[in-house]
Structure 1
Protein backbone atom coordinates (compact mmCIF):
# COMPACT_ATOMS: atom_id res chain seq x y z
CA UNK A 1 0.00 0.00 0.00
CA UNK A 2 1.01 3.58 -0.62
CA UNK A 3 -0.69 6.59 0.95
CA UNK A 4 -0.61 10.28 0.01
CA UNK A 5 -2.13 12.95 2.23
CA UNK A 6 -2.81 16.39 0.73
CA UNK A 7 -4.01 19.60 2.32
CA UNK A 8 -7.10 21.41 1.02
CA UNK A 9 -4.99 23.27 -1.57
CA UNK A 10 -3.53 20.07 -3.03
CA UNK A 11 -0.11 20.29 -1.39
CA UNK A 12 1.51 17.10 -0.15
CA UNK A 13 1.53 16.75 3.64
CA UNK A 14 2.72 13.16 3.92
CA UNK A 15 3.51 10.11 1.81
CA UNK A 16 4.38 6.58 2.82
CA UNK A 17 4.76 3.38 0.82
CA UNK A 18 5.41 -0.21 1.67
CA UNK A 19 8.84 -1.61 0.97
CA UNK A 20 8.93 -3.03 -2.53
CA UNK A 21 6.06 -0.89 -3.85
CA UNK A 22 6.59 0.25 -7.44
CA UNK A 23 7.99 3.69 -8.21
CA UNK A 24 4.69 4.92 -9.70
CA UNK A 25 2.78 4.38 -6.46
CA UNK A 26 3.45 7.96 -5.37
CA UNK A 27 1.97 9.37 -8.57
CA UNK A 28 -1.08 7.09 -8.39
CA UNK A 29 -1.87 7.84 -4.72
CA UNK A 30 -1.25 11.56 -5.23
CA UNK A 31 -3.41 11.58 -8.38
CA UNK A 32 -6.34 9.94 -6.62
CA UNK A 33 -6.26 12.50 -3.78
CA UNK A 34 -5.59 15.42 -6.14
CA UNK A 35 -8.48 14.41 -8.38
CA UNK A 36 -10.84 14.29 -5.42
CA UNK A 37 -9.82 17.81 -4.42
CA UNK A 38 -10.06 19.04 -8.00
CA UNK A 39 -13.73 18.12 -8.36
CA UNK A 40 -14.90 18.25 -4.75
CA UNK A 41 -15.90 14.58 -4.66
CA UNK A 42 -14.14 11.30 -3.97
CA UNK A 43 -12.30 9.76 -6.89
CA UNK A 44 -15.06 7.15 -7.26
CA UNK A 45 -17.11 10.03 -8.73
CA UNK A 46 -14.31 10.64 -11.25
CA UNK A 47 -14.30 6.96 -12.16
CA UNK A 48 -18.01 7.12 -12.94
CA UNK A 49 -17.60 10.40 -14.81
CA UNK A 50 -14.78 8.94 -16.92
CA UNK A 51 -17.19 6.27 -18.18
CA UNK A 52 -20.12 8.64 -18.71
CA UNK A 53 -18.25 11.76 -19.86
CA UNK A 54 -14.75 10.77 -20.92
CA UNK A 55 -14.17 14.11 -22.66
CA UNK A 56 -14.78 15.93 -19.37
CA UNK A 57 -12.29 13.82 -17.41
CA UNK A 58 -9.77 14.04 -20.25
CA UNK A 59 -10.13 17.82 -20.13
CA UNK A 60 -9.62 17.88 -16.36
CA UNK A 61 -6.52 15.77 -16.74
CA UNK A 62 -5.22 18.06 -19.46
CA UNK A 63 -5.66 21.27 -17.46
CA UNK A 64 -4.18 19.64 -14.34
CA UNK A 65 -1.03 18.58 -16.15
CA UNK A 66 -1.98 14.91 -15.97
CA UNK A 67 -2.21 14.88 -12.19
CA UNK A 68 -5.67 13.28 -11.91
CA UNK A 69 -6.10 9.51 -11.55
CA UNK A 70 -9.84 8.87 -12.01
CA UNK A 71 -10.30 5.62 -10.09
CA UNK A 72 -11.55 4.89 -6.55
CA UNK A 73 -9.07 5.30 -3.73
CA UNK A 74 -9.10 9.07 -3.24
CA UNK A 75 -11.38 10.54 -0.57
CA UNK A 76 -12.01 14.03 0.75
CA UNK A 77 -11.34 14.63 4.43
CA UNK A 78 -13.47 16.97 6.52
CA UNK A 79 -13.55 17.89 10.18
CA UNK A 80 -16.60 17.34 12.39
CA UNK A 81 -18.00 20.74 11.33
CA UNK A 82 -17.70 19.92 7.62
CA UNK A 83 -14.67 22.07 6.87
CA UNK A 84 -12.50 20.64 4.09
CA UNK A 85 -9.10 19.63 5.45
CA UNK A 86 -7.69 17.85 2.40
CA UNK A 87 -7.71 14.43 0.79
CA UNK A 88 -6.17 11.00 1.11
CA UNK A 89 -5.21 8.82 -1.84
CA UNK A 90 -4.32 5.16 -1.49
CA UNK A 91 -3.07 2.59 -3.98
CA UNK A 92 -1.71 -0.91 -3.84
CA UNK A 93 -4.74 -3.18 -4.04
CA UNK A 94 -7.92 -3.09 -6.10
CA UNK A 95 -9.38 0.38 -6.37
CA UNK A 96 -12.37 -0.65 -4.24
CA UNK A 97 -10.06 -1.93 -1.50
CA UNK A 98 -7.90 1.19 -1.77
CA UNK A 99 -11.00 3.31 -1.14
CA UNK A 100 -12.09 1.13 1.80
CA UNK A 101 -8.65 1.53 3.39
CA UNK A 102 -8.73 5.31 2.87
CA UNK A 103 -12.15 5.56 4.50
CA UNK A 104 -11.10 3.38 7.44
CA UNK A 105 -7.90 5.38 7.97
CA UNK A 106 -9.66 8.74 7.95
CA UNK A 107 -12.36 7.54 10.32
CA UNK A 108 -9.77 5.93 12.61
CA UNK A 109 -8.26 9.35 13.36
CA UNK A 110 -11.66 10.86 14.11
CA UNK A 111 -12.20 12.75 10.87
CA UNK A 112 -15.02 12.56 8.35
CA UNK A 113 -14.96 11.19 4.80
CA UNK A 114 -17.12 13.05 2.31
CA UNK A 115 -19.26 10.58 0.37
CA UNK A 116 -18.53 10.19 -3.33
Structure 2
Protein backbone atom coordinates (compact mmCIF):
# COMPACT_ATOMS: atom_id res chain seq x y z
CA UNK A 1 0.00 0.00 0.00
CA UNK A 2 1.58 3.31 -1.05
CA UNK A 3 -1.17 5.51 0.38
CA UNK A 4 -3.76 5.44 3.12
CA UNK A 5 -7.03 4.43 1.52
CA UNK A 6 -10.39 5.55 2.84
CA UNK A 7 -10.98 2.01 4.13
CA UNK A 8 -7.63 2.04 5.98
CA UNK A 9 -8.40 5.50 7.39
CA UNK A 10 -11.74 4.23 8.68
CA UNK A 11 -9.99 1.28 10.36
CA UNK A 12 -7.50 3.63 12.00
CA UNK A 13 -10.25 5.89 13.33
CA UNK A 14 -12.48 3.05 14.52
CA UNK A 15 -9.70 1.11 16.25
CA UNK A 16 -8.23 4.21 17.89
CA UNK A 17 -11.63 5.22 19.26
CA UNK A 18 -12.40 1.65 20.37
CA UNK A 19 -9.02 1.45 22.11
CA UNK A 20 -9.89 4.63 23.99
CA UNK A 21 -13.24 3.24 25.13
CA UNK A 22 -11.72 -0.09 26.23
CA UNK A 23 -8.96 1.71 28.15
CA UNK A 24 -11.52 4.06 29.74
CA UNK A 25 -9.94 7.16 28.27
CA UNK A 26 -11.63 10.51 27.97
CA UNK A 27 -13.51 11.01 24.65
CA UNK A 28 -11.03 11.06 21.78
CA UNK A 29 -10.91 12.69 18.38
CA UNK A 30 -8.93 11.19 15.49
CA UNK A 31 -7.82 12.72 12.18
CA UNK A 32 -6.18 10.86 9.30
CA UNK A 33 -4.39 12.71 6.48
CA UNK A 34 -2.70 11.54 3.30
CA UNK A 35 0.99 12.07 2.51
CA UNK A 36 0.20 15.59 1.29
CA UNK A 37 -1.52 16.55 4.54
CA UNK A 38 -5.06 16.42 3.09
CA UNK A 39 -7.81 15.13 5.36
CA UNK A 40 -9.10 11.63 4.62
CA UNK A 41 -11.16 10.93 7.75
CA UNK A 42 -12.08 12.49 11.09
CA UNK A 43 -14.30 11.45 13.98
CA UNK A 44 -14.96 12.98 17.36
CA UNK A 45 -16.28 10.74 20.11
CA UNK A 46 -19.53 11.58 21.83
CA UNK A 47 -18.69 13.94 24.66
CA UNK A 48 -15.43 15.21 23.13
CA UNK A 49 -15.04 18.95 23.61
CA UNK A 50 -15.36 21.39 20.74
CA UNK A 51 -12.15 22.43 19.03
CA UNK A 52 -10.80 18.90 18.85
CA UNK A 53 -10.78 18.81 15.06
CA UNK A 54 -8.13 21.52 14.90
CA UNK A 55 -5.97 19.75 17.47
CA UNK A 56 -6.21 16.29 15.88
CA UNK A 57 -5.74 17.67 12.37
CA UNK A 58 -2.79 19.81 13.49
CA UNK A 59 -1.07 16.80 15.03
CA UNK A 60 -1.56 14.72 11.87
CA UNK A 61 -0.76 17.53 9.43
CA UNK A 62 2.38 18.61 11.29
CA UNK A 63 3.68 15.05 11.42
CA UNK A 64 3.41 14.65 7.65
CA UNK A 65 4.69 18.12 6.77
CA UNK A 66 7.76 17.86 9.02
CA UNK A 67 8.29 14.12 8.58
CA UNK A 68 8.49 13.56 12.33
CA UNK A 69 5.89 12.52 14.88
CA UNK A 70 4.47 14.70 17.62
CA UNK A 71 6.90 13.56 20.29
CA UNK A 72 9.89 14.47 18.11
CA UNK A 73 8.20 17.79 17.25
CA UNK A 74 7.79 18.58 20.95
CA UNK A 75 11.44 17.75 21.56
CA UNK A 76 12.49 19.90 18.60
CA UNK A 77 10.32 22.77 19.90
CA UNK A 78 12.04 22.55 23.28
CA UNK A 79 15.49 22.58 21.66
CA UNK A 80 14.78 24.98 18.79
CA UNK A 81 11.58 26.89 19.39
CA UNK A 82 12.41 29.24 16.51
CA UNK A 83 12.33 26.34 14.04
CA UNK A 84 8.88 25.12 15.07
CA UNK A 85 7.59 28.71 15.13
CA UNK A 86 8.91 29.29 11.61
CA UNK A 87 7.50 25.98 10.35
CA UNK A 88 4.13 26.74 11.93
CA UNK A 89 4.09 30.09 10.14
CA UNK A 90 5.04 28.44 6.85
CA UNK A 91 2.17 25.96 7.26
CA UNK A 92 -0.40 28.63 8.14
CA UNK A 93 -0.53 27.70 11.82
CA UNK A 94 -1.52 24.09 11.12
CA UNK A 95 1.12 22.44 13.35
CA UNK A 96 0.35 21.11 16.82
CA UNK A 97 3.79 19.89 17.95
CA UNK A 98 2.85 17.56 20.79
CA UNK A 99 2.59 13.79 21.28
CA UNK A 100 -0.41 12.18 19.63
CA UNK A 101 0.73 12.99 16.09
CA UNK A 102 2.09 10.20 13.92
CA UNK A 103 3.90 9.79 10.65
CA UNK A 104 2.37 6.68 9.07
CA UNK A 105 4.54 4.42 6.95
CA UNK A 106 3.86 1.32 4.88
CA UNK A 107 5.84 -1.90 5.30
CA UNK A 108 8.48 -0.62 2.85
CA UNK A 109 9.05 2.46 5.02
CA UNK A 110 7.39 4.96 2.68
CA UNK A 111 5.42 7.81 4.28
CA UNK A 112 1.78 7.26 3.37
CA UNK A 113 0.10 9.74 5.69
CA UNK A 114 -0.36 11.00 9.21
CA UNK A 115 -2.66 10.50 12.18
CA UNK A 116 -3.53 12.83 15.01
CA UNK A 117 -5.27 11.78 18.22
CA UNK A 118 -6.34 14.14 20.99
CA UNK A 119 -8.56 14.09 24.05
CA UNK A 120 -6.66 12.38 26.86
CA UNK A 121 -3.09 12.47 28.14
CA UNK A 122 -0.32 12.50 25.57
CA UNK A 123 0.59 8.93 26.49
CA UNK A 124 -3.00 7.75 26.04
CA UNK A 125 -3.40 9.65 22.77
CA UNK A 126 -0.24 7.87 21.58
CA UNK A 127 -1.48 4.42 22.64
CA UNK A 128 -4.83 4.89 20.88
CA UNK A 129 -3.23 6.20 17.69
CA UNK A 130 -0.74 3.36 17.54
CA UNK A 131 -3.52 0.81 18.06
CA UNK A 132 -5.44 2.24 15.12
CA UNK A 133 -2.46 2.43 12.79
CA UNK A 134 -1.28 -1.09 13.57
CA UNK A 135 -4.82 -2.44 13.08
CA UNK A 136 -4.72 -1.04 9.54
CA UNK A 137 -1.49 -2.94 8.84
CA UNK A 138 0.65 0.18 8.82
CA UNK A 139 3.62 1.42 10.86
CA UNK A 140 3.26 4.19 13.45
CA UNK A 141 6.08 6.66 14.02
CA UNK A 142 5.15 8.95 16.90
Question: Do both share a fold (TM > 0.5)?
Answer: yes
Instruction: Show CA shifts across 1:74-110 (max 9, x none).
Output: 1111111122210110000011211121111101121
* Residue number in structure 1 paired with 2:79: 52
* Residue number in structure 2 paired with 1:103: 130
Bigger helix fraction: 2
- Structure 1 runs of 4+ off > 2 angstroms? none
Question: Partners of 1:27 and 1:42 in 2: how far apart?
Answer: 17
Q: How many residues align?
A: 115
Unaligned runs of 5+ in 1: none
1:24-43 → structure 2 map (5 Å cutoff): 24-43=51-70
* Residue number in structure 1 paired with 2:15: none
- What's the secondary structure of 1:4's corresponding residue? strand
Question: Partners of 1:95 and 1:43 in 2: how far apart?
Answer: 10
1:1-116 → structure 2 map (5 Å cutoff): 1-114=28-141, 116=142
Greater Cα radius of gyration, structure 1 or 2: 2
TM-score relative to the length of structure 1: 0.94
Query: How big is the alpha-carbon RMSD for the aligned residues of Structure 1 and Structure 2?
Result: 1.0
- What's the secondary structure of 1:65's corresponding residue? coil
The answer to whether the 8 A contact 2:116-2:129 is kept is yes
Unaligned runs of 5+ in 2: 1-27
The answer to whether the 8 A contact 2:36-2:65 is kept is no
